[in-house]
Amino acid sequence: MLRLRSLAGACAGVVVALTASLAVAADGMQTAAVPSGGFAVRAIINAGAKEIPQGVSFSLHRLNGRGEAQLAAHASGGTAEFDLPEGQYLLTTVYGAALKQELVNANASVSHTVNLNAGEITLAVIPGVGRPALKEEIDWQIQTFGRDSEGNRHVLHRVSGANPHLVLPAGWYFVAADFDGRRLTHTIEVGAGTRFDYTLVQQD
């Protein structure tokens, strides 16, 4: 059983909490003038959001005519600026468990904004309805919602803790929580620009 808690408290059963809800944007590049001489890259969680100030990893791979990619530059933090020859690169952006790859044209006259189209979730387990959440270490797996041709789901992300906070691309996922020799599972949704607080309920 899965119970969703709102930040303002539960209301007559199951409540989904959405905080800082913003419109979902279509994928695409955004460009703006850059005052300095490098190719600047920044990331946002979704359209209309402020740029992420820290904890973002950017890497640029130069592509050649043989379909190969060679690492040309890497940076982490908030906004990154790269001094690179103009040309086409594969840009990989990672923030939390959200990863996006796209082709970009490095040009010192423009900046590039990566729209991760992601949302936030928290996870917790309670030993029964109305009881406080467990404080012990829990091993969490975020798996694909769909199954492959052999009927298997694939693990996308692992995290340990009683109440982890994750940033994930918008979509549906299958969550597994392992603790005390038992496993709880449930399907969850991640919405772009929203926060969902998921609580799995242990049933005897």
CB 22 within 8 A of CB 192: yes
Nearest to 188 by CA among 124, 95, 94: 124
Task: Please give the pLDDT value at position 133.
Answer: 96
- Residue 37: the pLDDT is 54
**Quick one: pLDDT at residue 63?**
82
pLDDT > 90? residue 12: no
List pLDDT tens digits, range 117-156: 999 999 999 999 989 999 999 999 999 999 999 999 999 9
pTM passes above 0.85: no
Residue count of the chain: 204
Q: CA–CA separation, 39 vs 23, rounded Å?
A: 28
Please check the confidence at residue 14 and state whether its pLDDT lies above 70. no
pLDDT, tens only, 162-200: 999 999 999 999 999 999 999 999 999 999 999 999 999
CB 190 within 8 A of CB 122: no
**Structure-model confidence comparison of residues 140 and 108, the more confident one:** 140
CA-wise closest residue to 156 among 137, 136, 138, 176:
176
DSSP-derived letter for residue 127 is: S
Contacts of 6 (CB under 8 A, 6+ apart): 15, 16, 17, 197
Domains of the chain as residue ranges with CATH? 2-21+118-201 (2.60.40.10), 30-115 (2.60.40.1120)
